[in-house]
Every structure is written in C-alpha cells, then in structure tokens.
Amino acid sequence: MSTPDRPAAPDAGAAPPTAPDTGSAPPVGRDAETVPAGGGGPASTGRRALTYAVLLCVLGAGLAVFAATRTWAVELIPRPAPLPARQVVSSGGDLLPWLPALALVGLAAAGAVLATRGVVRRCVGALLALVGLGVAAGGAYGGFAVARGEVSVGWPLLCMLGGVLAASAGVVTAVRGGTWPVMGARYERGRPDRVPEAAGAGGRVDAGRTAAVWDALDRGEDPTAG
C-alpha cells in the first residue's frame, strides 16, 4: 500500500510571493490633472490680482458715475410776490460738469488695464489713481462747497467712496501690474513645435493623434497653430 507524496518544503532563500497589483495606473492625457504645490503658481496669483483690480475699478467708477447723476441739492430761489419761489434741482453733474466725465474715464480705464501689459499697464494704473483721486475730490468739493440749499450728503459721499475705490485699484495696478498676465496670454506659452494632425493617411482618424490634440487643448495651447 503506497503512501501519498508529501509536498515539498518551501525554499528558505526564495523571495516571498508578491500580491497582485490591484491599483490602476495614474491617469494620463485629458484625465490627468496637475495640482500645483501651494495652491497655484505665480501666473494664477497674478490672474486673480488682475481680476480683483479690474472689478474694484469697475465698482468704484460705476458708483461714482451713478452718484454724480443723482440729485445733490435742491435750492429755493425767491421771486417777487405774488410769484412763488423757484425750485432748482441740481445733480452732481450740474454742479461740476466734469465730474461724470472723469468717472467715465475711470470706468474705461478698467478695459485699458486688461488690454495692456508691463510698463504701459503701470502707467494706466498711475493715471487711474489720479482719476480716482480727482473723482473723490470732486465729490467732496461739489457736495460740501458748491451745493446750495437743501443738500443730500449721501450722494456726494458715495461719489467720494467710488473715487477712493478706483484710486486704490490704480495704485495696486501701478505697483504690481507689470507682473500680471495679459489677456489671452494662455495661448502665448511655450508649446511643442507642432501638434500632430488628428487624421492620418487616407482620412482615417488616429486615436493617438486625437488624444494629443486634446492634451494640447488641456494645456491651453492652440492645436491649429503651427
């Protein structure tokens, strides 16, 4: 009667078996997302600062334009009896005709900040700061020195606030605007010599080349430029 064979003892020098790799490979192509360390690079920081400066400029200049067109003062001018007194209603633009125009210049400067770069953008920021200070000074002068009769101080104060906000945006732009990105700069970054065409010979679509085109678009590059 035969006995069953015993299993062979494991070799002490053999490497232990490794568990199969159940993880998936890191995503590539369009599915890959690169998260910069520290929450974003200098380009994203500059883009945020540019956005905040433009919004601050639009807000301040818009407030000044709106406030300058409201009624700042109501004056009663007496007339000989039996005629009643004549009521004269004056807006900020009536008291200082240049005030709404100056506020509109500040509003247009927001577009100039977006469209310029470098030293030119810094100069636009300095001009915007002067415009904002002029608007604030005009609001104070028109509301508390020129207006006669019953004065509504709320609108001059709002005009002054708008001028201060626009001036603040101008100061920030003049100091730091030279390092901010320009509008449409994402297509000006370095790119490969040429992105492969998506269609291969005979009009057939190559899946690899199509993925390369999508990768180029994800990087902010124009695959049609070449």
Q: Supply the pLDDT for residue 215.
A: 76
> pLDDT tens digit string along 63-110?
999 999 999 998 877 778 777 778 888 899 999 999 999 999 999 999
Strands 150-151 and 86-91: unpaired
Q: Supply the pLDDT for residue 173.
A: 95
Give the pLDDT band of residue 51 (cuts 50, 70, 90). very high
Q: Tell me the percentage of the chain whose pLDDT exceeds 90.
A: 42
Cis peptide bond prior to 82, omega within 30° of 0 = yes
> Average pLDDT of the chain?
77
Q: Where are the domains of the chain?
A: 56-75+97-182
Give mean pLDDT, residues 161-183: 92
Give the pLDDT band of residue 184 (cuts 50, 70, 90). low
Q: Yes or no: say if 220 and 186 are a contact pair by the CB < 8 Å rule.
A: yes
Q: Supply the pLDDT for residue 66.
A: 96
Q: Supply the pLDDT for residue 6.
A: 54
Rounded distance between C-alpha atoms, residue 209 and residue 193, angstroms = 15
Is the predicted pLDDT of residue 35 greater than 50, yes or no? no
Q: Tell me the percentage of the chain whose pLDDT exceeds 70.
A: 68
* β-sheet bridge partners, residue 76: 87
Q: Which helix (H) or strand (E) holds 156?
A: helix 154-176
Rounded distance between C-alpha atoms, residue 33 and residue 26, angstroms = 10
Q: Supply the pLDDT for residue 216.
A: 76
Rounded distance between C-alpha atoms, residue 100 and residue 91, angstroms = 10
Query: What one-character DSSP code corresponds to residue 88?
Result: E
Q: Supply the pLDDT for residue 89.
A: 87
Q: What are phi and psi of 73, to 5 degrees?
A: -150, 145
Distance from the first to the final alpha carbon of the chain:
84
Q: Yes or no: say if 88 and 77 are a contact pair by the CB < 8 Å rule.
A: yes
> pLDDT tens digit string along 104-152?
999 999 999 999 989 999 999 999 999 999 999 999 999 888 878 888 8
Rounded distance between C-alpha atoms, residue 189 and residue 196, angstroms = 18
